[in-house]
A and B are shown apart, each in its own frame.
Chain A
Amino acid sequence: MIKISRIFSSLMILLGIYVIFTAKQFPAGTNGVLGPGFFPILLGVLLIALSIIQIVHTRHDKVEENEKTDPATIKRILISALIIIAYMVFINILGFLISTPMFLFSIMFYFGVRKKSTLILTSLVTTAVLYFVFLKFLSVSLPTGIFF
Chain B
Amino acid sequence: MIVEVLQNVFSWQVLLAIFAGVSAGIAIGAMPGLTSTMGIALLMPLTFKFEPQVGMMLLIGEFVGGIYGGSITAILINTPGTSSAAATTLDGFPMTKRGEAGRALGISTIASATGGMISGLMLVFIAPTLASMALKFSAPETFALAFFGISIISSISANSLTKGLISGLLGLMVSLIGMDNISGYSRFTFGSIFLMNGLSFIPVLVGLFAMSQCLTSVEELMVNNSIDTKSLKRAKISMKDFLKILPTAIRAGITGTFIGIVPGAGGDISAFVSYDMEKRLSKHPELFGTGIPEGIAAPEASNNGTTGGALIPLLTLGIPGDSNTAVLLGALMMYNLTPGPQLFVENAVTVKTLFVGFFIANFVMLTLGLSNVKNFVKIVNIPKQVLVPIVMVLCVIGSFAINTNFDDVIVMFVAGIVGYVLSKGGFPLSPIVLALILGPMAEGNFRRSLVMSHGSYSIFFTRPIAATFIFIALISLFWPIIKTAVKQIKQARMSK
Contacts and interface: CB of A to CB of B under 8 A. Distances in A.
Interface of A: 3-5, 7-9, 12, 15, 19, 22-23, 26-27, 29, 31-36, 38-40, 43-44, 46-47, 50-51, 53-54, 57, 64, 66-67, 69, 73, 76-77, 80-81, 84-85, 87-88, 91-92, 96, 100, 103-104, 107-108, 111-113, 118, 122, 126, 130, 133-134, 138-143
B406 A92 contact: yes
A27 B185 contact: yes
B450 to A, nearest CB: 6
B441 interface: no
A26 B185 contact: yes
Interface of B: 46, 49, 162-163, 165-166, 169-170, 172-173, 176, 180, 182-183, 185, 187-188, 215, 218-219, 221-222, 383-386, 388-390, 392-394, 396-397, 400-401, 404, 406, 409-410, 413, 417, 420-427, 443, 446-447, 450-451, 454-456
A70 B182 CA distance: 49
Contact of A39 (B215, B392, B400, B443): B443
A100 B393 contact: yes
A15 B393 CA distance: 31
Contacts of A53: 162
State the main secondary structure of chain B at its contact with A.
Answer: helix
Contacts of A92: 406
Contact of B49 (A3, A69, A140): A140
A122 B172 CA distance: 40
Given A80-B215, A104-B390, A139-B49, A34 B450 contact: yes
A26 B176 CA distance: 13
Nearest to A79: B218
Contacts of A96: 397
A77 B219 contact: yes
B187 A26 contact: yes
Contact of B424 (A50, A67, A88, A107): A67
A107 B396 CA distance: 14
Given A26-B187, A32-B455, A39-B443, A84 B424 contact: no
Nearest to A52: B162
A57 B161 CA distance: 11
Contact of A5 (B388, B400, B427, B443): B427
B432 to A, nearest CB: 13
Nearest to A40: B176
A47 B173 contact: yes
Nearest to A35: B183
A19 B173 contact: yes
A91 to B, nearest CB: 7
From B173, B420, B455, name the one whose CB has the most chain A CB atoms within 10 angstroms. Answer: B173
Contacts of A81: 215, 417
A111 B426 contact: no
Contacts of A26: 185, 187
